[in-house]
Amino acid sequence: MIDRKTIDQVYQATDIVDVVSDFVSLRKSGVNYKGLCPFHEEKTPSFVVTPSKGICHCFGCHKGGNAINFLMQINNMTYPEAIRWLARKYNIEVIETGIDEKAGQERKHREALLTLNQWANEYFQRTLNDTSEGQGIGLTYFRSRQFRDDIIHKFQLGYCPSSGYGLADAARANHISTDNLVETGLCIKTNNGRLRDRFFGRVIFPVHNYLGKIVAFGGRILEKKDNVGKYLNSPESPIYSKSNELYGIYFAKQAIQRQDCCYLVEGYTDVISMHQCGIENVVASSGTALTHDQIRLIKKFTTNLTVLYDGDNAGIKASLRGIDMLLEHGLNIKVLLLPDGDDPDSFARKHTAEEYTTYINQHQVDFIRFKTDLLLRDAGTDVRARATVINNIAESIARIDDTITRSLYITECASLTRVREENIIEAVNSTRNRLKLAKIQENIRDKARNETTQPQEKTTAQEEQKVVRKTQSQLAVAEGNLIKFLILYGEKVIGEYEQKNGTTKPVTFAEYVNAMMTNDDLNFTNPLYNSIMQELLDNLDKPSFTASNYLLSHPNDAIRNYAMAQIADYSTTITIDEKTITAHLDETAYKLVSELTLATIADKITELSHLINSGTLSDEQMTEKTIELATYKQAQIQLKNNKR
């Protein structure tokens, strides 16, 4: 876990406008800032950043929150990832508790490798832009591909000198670890022990993970050589696994979210050219078959995917198996076959974004239909070949979990293949049974492997959220009103009391409310509210403690998200001057606790009335419950009279 002190430092250092500005172009609007929402398509800005509250909110799609929530949504980060991102931004050291020494060393080592890749990336860019060789060879190549300077800069393209030792010598001069250079694959150790550059004489394409960290490089050779591949990539390392990454995901993720669609292409230049023509929701598999991890990465941002193929791509059939996996993950897959002679790169250079998008929308087809047409066309009239094709298509359909979608595909498949629908259903069900059996066996193996792992915490944030009361009973409303004020004003001093030694001590809103609730023997029925109250009471004595700030940066998802919802709701609906509210918090506390008491009594009266009328009580129990009901009703009348 990240140390609470680190979280507090991060939160205090964070400027919500500064953070959001990394992703959204903002303009001042009174005391707030406005911009186009990064989470959905819009032409009129509805995304508002409120510096005084440290939050942002979209009035269109209702996404937003504080800086941490914003990062978790925009980057699909976990809470710890968002904290670390902010810590790096504001140069704050992250202190962790409960982490063993080995895990700590591994994390530091990964950070060192990422830092090395960043240094190498800057070296490659300087070589491209500031040396005669880089300009004469590297820039000349990029410009021959019609890449503009702004696009070259955006994708941080570079060049590695042809001497074979440029980066290695620069690294040695900067006292960079030899082992790290070899481990990242930036350098190769020769037989005589000297380091040589892996990518010498190649233009460089850095590979960013979805958080923007450079995890690898791809280098393209510019001279054709026998037995030398056109592209050379970084080897696997502690920070890079090719099966986990998609080229361009860092630059595409916001556009993918806004448009709720991702285009999948094959190579680096496909992605870059499409960005240059104005289409940014595009990623590349870098010439490899799709993996489950890559599909999960896409699914972080959308469930709609269109795969773009070259018009004369001979490898389409080989890639179909990989696309089948997309169906397993519940993605909606379409396929676009570009005109003969074009690939996504060349097509982008000939067309505007509007023309390209229009072509995609008019010519993309559903994956199952595409696969059926492609395979049946090759099978011709051969009965055995057609049977094989139909079984192949049935296997694809079987991977779709949604019953209605699967049923529609079965009907369409039957129509396209002219095979009876019941026969397609039989083939699909048979395949589903086989896949289910394979999954069960895999789960058994996984369970056996995980038997020795640490048990999970007994109560997860998700479980805590499930117990949040959803009914709009008087008690639920009263509890909700009180906890909202505790979140907003818990630390506010509303008076003083005299201690036994004669000195006075300030009393906060939270302490005053807690004292009244204790005196009336009241508790929140919602466990989440009790947790929030306890967090406030435990931390009120800390210097500069603010209830809302503390809860907004809390590591518990349920606490943090609930606090965020209350603060966002308050900041967008409040119509009373805040000074008026804080000046009368003592009266507000009394009013809110009185309402909670009345609501508690009302719920008890309802419960007792149902019990008395249930016909399940003995005569003795009936007398006891009737007296209890009368007592509660009397207390209710007295409290209502006191309120008047």
CA distance 602 to 599: 5
| pLDDT band for position 472 (cuts 50, 70, 90) | very low
Q: Is 43 exposed, middle or buried (0-12, 13-18, 19+ CB in 10 A)?
A: exposed
State the residue range of the domain holding 221: 109-240
More confident residue, 246 or 545: 246
The predicted pLDDT at position 355 comes to: 93
If you average pLDDT over residues 523-540, what whole number do you get? 90
8-state DSSP, 3: -
| pLDDT band for position 251 (cuts 50, 70, 90) | very high
| Collapsed DSSP state (helix, strand, coil) of residue 21 | helix
- Collect all residues with Cβ–Cβ distance below 8 Å to 388 and sequence separation of at least 6: 379
User: Mean of the per-residue pLDDT values for the chain?
Assistant: 84
- Among 124-133, 315-324, 423-432, 547-556, the range scoring the smallest mean pLDDT is 315-324
The predicted pLDDT at position 569 comes to: 62
Q: For residues 228 and 265, state if they share a domain.
A: no
The predicted pLDDT at position 20 comes to: 92
Residue 624 lies in a domain: yes
Q: For residues 277 and 367, state if they share a domain.
A: yes
The predicted pLDDT at position 287 comes to: 67
Q: For residues 280 and 368, state if they share a domain.
A: yes
Residue that has been written with the tokens 């289409």 in this structure: 279
pLDDT tops 60 at residue 379: yes
The predicted pLDDT at position 403 comes to: 87
The predicted pLDDT at position 573 comes to: 40
pLDDT exceeding 90 applies to what percent of the chain?
31
pLDDT tops 60 at residue 455: no
Q: For residues 421 and 471, state if they share a domain.
A: no
Residue that has been written with the tokens 């399940």 in this structure: 616
Q: For residues 256 and 336, state if they share a domain.
A: yes
| pLDDT band for position 322 (cuts 50, 70, 90) | low
Residue 393 lies in a domain: yes
Q: For residues 328 and 311, state if they share a domain.
A: yes
> Per residue in 192-250, pLDDT tens?
888 999 999 999 999 999 888 999 999 999 887 777 788 999 999 999 999 889 999 99
Residue that has been written with the tokens 């986990």 in this structure: 244
Decide if 261 contacts 304 (C-beta within 8 A).
yes
This prediction's pTM: 0.68
The structure tokens listed for 458 are 């007994």
The predicted pLDDT at position 384 comes to: 87
Most confident of 106-110, 554-558, 610-614: 106-110
pLDDT tops 80 at residue 429: yes
The predicted pLDDT at position 465 comes to: 38
pLDDT tops 70 at residue 421: yes
What CATH code is carried by the domain that includes residue 145?
A: 3.90.980.10
Compute the CA torsion angle 67, 69, 72, 75 (nearest 10 deg): -50
pLDDT tops 80 at residue 270: yes
| pLDDT band for position 578 (cuts 50, 70, 90) | low
If you average pLDDT over residues 340-368, what whole number do you get? 91
pLDDT exceeding 70 applies to what percent of the chain?
89
Q: Count up the domains in the chain and report the number.
A: 4
Q: For residues 302 and 373, state if they share a domain.
A: yes
pLDDT tops 90 at residue 264: yes
Q: For residues 364 and 302, state if they share a domain.
A: yes
The predicted pLDDT at position 313 comes to: 59
Residue 454 lies in a domain: no
- Domain boundary pick from 181, 208, 240: 240
> Per residue in 120-167, pLDDT tens?
999 999 999 999 999 999 999 999 999 999 999 999 999 999 999 999
Residue 222 lies in a domain: yes
Residue that has been written with the tokens 């369970």 in this structure: 447
Q: For residues 404 and 553, state if they share a domain.
A: no
Per DSSP bridges, beta strands 32-35 and 27-29 are antiparallel
More confident residue, 609 or 283: 283
